Amino acid sequence: MAIRHIITEGDEALTKVCRAVENFDNRLAMLLDDLKETMIHADGVGLAAPQVGVLRRVAVVDIGEGLVELVNPEIVFEEGEQEMQEGCLSCPGVYGTTKRPQKIKVIAQNRKGEHIEFEAEGLFAVACCHEIDHLSGILFREHVVRMESKDGIEAL
Ligand code: ZN
């Protein structure tokens, strides 16, 4: 495993639409392991492949309830609305209150290519939405309803 460099806003890799993963091989496993290690090192609760310059539909989320690996994730259902304070590891020092769905259903694949699906609520839903947005070149700023100046908000 290795800690990779997290690119920041202004790098055009963060604005690209990522390609789907087709090969569930060692390279994918290594990418997932590196995303996890890099996220932990950066003290984040999620990290998407484009944030380390890899334009593939891969992300990890861990809000403190265990690691979730997302390969080719899609949100297939969303319900309700919530406001949450968010930050992004690719936008250092920028924090804002966003509006996101309260509850979502995600379908994805795991590192072996097996189908997974789950429902997410609260911070877990926000984290999944944030990371899946990264895979379409969308930053959390687009969902911000109010900028926040305080520190200590979870970054993804
Ligand atoms: Zn982010």
CA 56 / ligand 1 centre spacing (Å): 15
* Angle subtended at Cα 62 by Cα 37 and Cα 6, rounded to the nearest 5 degrees: 45
Question: Greatest CA separation found in the chain?
Answer: 42
Residues near ligand 1 ion, CB 5 Å cutoff: 88, 156
CA 140 / ligand 1 centre spacing (Å): 7
Give the residue from 94, 88, 95 showing the smallest Cα distance to 133.
88
Q: Find all residues with CB under 8 Å of 45, minimum gap 6, and list them.
A: 39, 61, 62, 63, 64, 123, 127, 154, 155, 156
User: Tens place of pLDDT for every residue, the chain, 156 residues?
Assistant: 899 999 999 999 999 999 999 999 999 999 999 999 999 999 999 999 999 999 999 999 999 999 999 999 999 999 999 999 999 999 998 999 999 999 999 999 999 999 999 999 999 999 999 999 999 999 999 999 999 887 667 888
CA 22 / ligand 1 centre spacing (Å): 24
pLDDT at 98: 96
Active site residues: 131
Q: Find all residues with CB under 8 Å of 128, minimum gap 6, and list them.
A: 46, 61, 68, 70, 73, 75, 104, 106, 120
CA 95 / ligand 1 centre spacing (Å): 11
pLDDT at 151: 66
pLDDT at 153: 79
- pTM, whole model, 2 decimals? 0.96
Q: What is the length of the chain? A: 156
Q: Find all residues with CB under 8 Å of 14, minimum gap 6, and list them.
A: 7, 8, 50, 51, 90, 134, 137, 139
Spatial distance between the Cα atoms of 92 and 32, rounded to a whole number of angstroms: 23
